[in-house]
């Protein structure tokens, strides 16, 4: 019988007196990440009982709007890739990537 392995990802959130994130750090030892700073986290979890997506969206108060726009764009692109790996639905993946191109165009991300 194969030995089962457990992996852990740790997210640390330091809040100010108003419970606004001041700093975010994360560790994923299996991925070689140890106490690394981040300015934003988007975490989605599938609740299979209620058939709904649960999420935690956090960003630090010093994250610039331009950084957030790039973060959203890159997140949408990676979601498209993940969707393709999970479903093998090339047609919808192409549609999602078309939207990502439109998103980047409207935010003028390609000019930066």
Alpha carbon 53 to its chain's center: 14
The DSSP 8-state label assigned to residue 33 in this structure reads E
Whether 68 and 41 share a structural domain: no
Whether 56 and 82 share a structural domain: no
Point out the domain boundary residue: 60, 78, 95.
60
**In this structure, is residue 28 part of a structural domain?**
yes
**In this structure, is residue 1 part of a structural domain?**
no
Give tens-digit pLDDT for 57-98.
999 999 999 999 999 999 999 999 999 999 999 999 999 999
Residues paired with 53 in a beta bridge:
46
Whether 76 and 52 share a structural domain: no
Cα angle 97-100-106, degrees, rounded to a multiple of 5: 145
User: Residue 112 pLDDT more than 90?
Assistant: no
22 touches 60 (CB < 8 A): yes
Whether 52 and 68 share a structural domain: no
pTM of the full predicted structure?
0.87
Alpha carbon 92 to its chain's center: 20
Structural domain of 28: 8-60
Query: Two tokens at 13?
Result: 């959130």
Provide the domain count of the chain. 2
């Amino acid at each position: 019988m194969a030995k089962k392995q457990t992996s852990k990802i740790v997210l640390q959130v330091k809040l100010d007196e108003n419970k606004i994130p001041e700093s975010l750090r994360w560790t994923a030892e299996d991925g070689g990440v140890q106490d690394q700073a981040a300015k934003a986290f988007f975490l989605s979890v599938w609740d299979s009982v209620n058939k709904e997506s649960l999420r935690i969206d956090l960003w630090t108060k010093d994250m610039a709007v331009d950084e957030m726009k790039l973060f959203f764009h890159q997140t949408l692109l990676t979601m498209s890739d993940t969707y393709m790996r999970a479903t093998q639905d090339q047609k919808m993946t192409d549609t999602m990537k078309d939207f990502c191109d439109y998103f980047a165009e409207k935010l003028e991300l390609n000019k930066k």
